[in-house]
Amino acid sequence: MANAKPRVLPLAKRGLNFEMFMWLFTRLSALAMYGLILLAVIGALVMGARQQMSFADILRWGFMPNANHVQSTNVPELEPWATPFWAVTASLLLLLAVAHGVHGLVVIADDYITSERGRLIVRWLSIAMMISMSLMGLYLLWQDFLFPAG
């Protein structure tokens, strides 16, 4: 394998169809999510340092920087955590994660469902799942800003 030379075609020769676009999106969204999670972990370290926030709580915030994730911890007040900045960060993370994850489920399903009709059904289901998950997640992230009383 040491002598095998990888064949690299320029994008113009390869063509950019939807599958190729999603292949690239999967990798680029992964890179973007590393950045967002790193930002959230650094934020948790800064905001939670004085309360000696535990490792598990920092990671829970890192996976999704939503104020509800630190509600039951030893953080005394939620104000610095429940800001629009973190809601925007969490929204970006949510949308990228849902698109990345749903496409991953389609890739897995394609390994087992090989009929043309089955794959079409998988695609429609995946679109429905992606839209509903994104909308429900956005509602959960922004409900405290949109409906402060409830």
CB of 56 to other proteins, least distance (A): 6
Per-residue contact track with other proteins, 48 to 67, x per CB under 8 A? ------xxx--xx--x----
CB atoms within 10 A of CB 97: 20
- How far, in Å, CA of 82 to CA of 68, rounded? 9
* Binding of residue 32 to other proteins (CB under 8 A): no
CA distances from 4 to 7, 8, 11, 14, 105 (A): 9, 12, 21, 20, 32
DSSP 8-state assignment for residue 75: -
Looking at the Cβ atoms of 47 and 141, the one nearer to other proteins is: 141
Regarding 125 and contact with other proteins (CB under 8 A), the answer is: no
Pick 14 or 79: Cβ nearer other proteins: 14
